[in-house]
Amino acid sequence: MAIIINLDVMLAKRKMSLSELSEKVNITMANLSILKTNKAKAIRFSTLESICEVLECQPGDLLEFKDE
Amino acid sequence: MKTNQVLETAEIFFEFLKGFTYLGGIILVTIIIYSFFSPTTFDGFYKKEANTISYNNTNINSQKSNHEEFKINQKNIHLLNKLTPFSRSFLLVESIFYLTISILILRQLNNFVKSVKDYHSFHSKNSKYFTNIGKYISYLFIFEIIAAFVPIVIKTEENKYHSIFSFDISPFIYYIAIFLLSYTISQVFKEGERLKIESELTI
């Protein structure tokens, strides 16, 4: 069981680069990269909120539950 | 910062203790080895209980004392040069073993203090240091059990051999307590490390 973050999918849909998102949400590239590669252990509501705001999406569009 | 001063003092203290143990070890081993070649040189040295060597400049055998404590202790005192070569060899092995374990434990403690001083309190190594201390204590425990079955053999003046078994339960209790404490602290640091990683990977 795992929670997958579909950040790369949303970025592709919005035709936005990771560095662009990094600038807009004020999160370092390193942290966004951790998030994108599913290495993150947790995500703050504030982070999720700012990503959703910039990408104009719902948390459900970013997060997905996968039964391994 | 006050904490850093304490840590620096701890680091110096452990370094000093390590040096002192090295020096004491060299002296002790030299005395035991020398006693093989020249038993009469160290008339004042005696073996007390299971694992200590002390020095008394008076002749214990001829000393007459009314002091109650000395009378009780006298039962466990054996002059080093009265021990048989086997007992002296075992004493040598015992001393080297205890000193090695002491140095290894001090090294682990010193590394731990250094790590805390460098703000790496929840590094994976810290958990390992305490696991190692627990491991060394378990070796001591096993060695003490073996040592309890090895008698101290004394050659009496009538050229007779006299075997004495000495067994003291108190070190075993301390060993078990230190062993369990080390493993508990090790688990605390393991959990701390897990929480640290989790906090670092929280975006």
Residues of B in contact with A41 (CB under 8 A): 197-198, 201-202
Q: Does the pLDDT value for residue A2 go beyond 80?
A: yes
Cβ-Cβ pairs closer than 8 A, A with B, add up to: 23
Instruction: Say yes or no for a CB contact (<8 Å) between A42 and B197.
Output: no
Q: How far is A47 from chain B (nearest CA, A)?
A: 7
Whether the predicted interface score ipTM is above 0.90:
no
Locate B193 and state its tokens: 């490390």
- Is residue B46 predicted with pLDDT exceeding 90? no
Greater pLDDT, B121 or B161: B121
User: Is A44 close to B203, i.e. CB distance below 8 A?
Assistant: yes
Q: What average pLDDT does the segment B110-125 reach? A: 86
User: Which among B197, B198, B202 has the least Cβ separation from residue A44?
Assistant: B202
Domain regions of chain A by residue span: 2-66
A17-56: pLDDT as tens digits: 998 999 988 889 999 999 988 888 889 999 999 999 999 9
Q: With respect to CATH, is domain A2-66 assigned 1.10.260.40? A: yes
Query: Is residue B197 scored above 80 in pLDDT?
Result: yes
Residue pLDDT, tens place only, B52-77: 555 544 444 444 444 444 444 444 45
Distance of residue B196 Cα from the nearest chain A Cα, in angstroms = 11
Partner residues linked to B53 by β-bridges: B47
pLDDT at position B101: 93
Q: What integer best gives the mean pLDDT of chain B?
A: 78
For tokens 């680091």, what's the residue?
A: B11
- Quote the crossing angle between the two packed helices B124-148 and B85-117, to the nearest 10°: 160
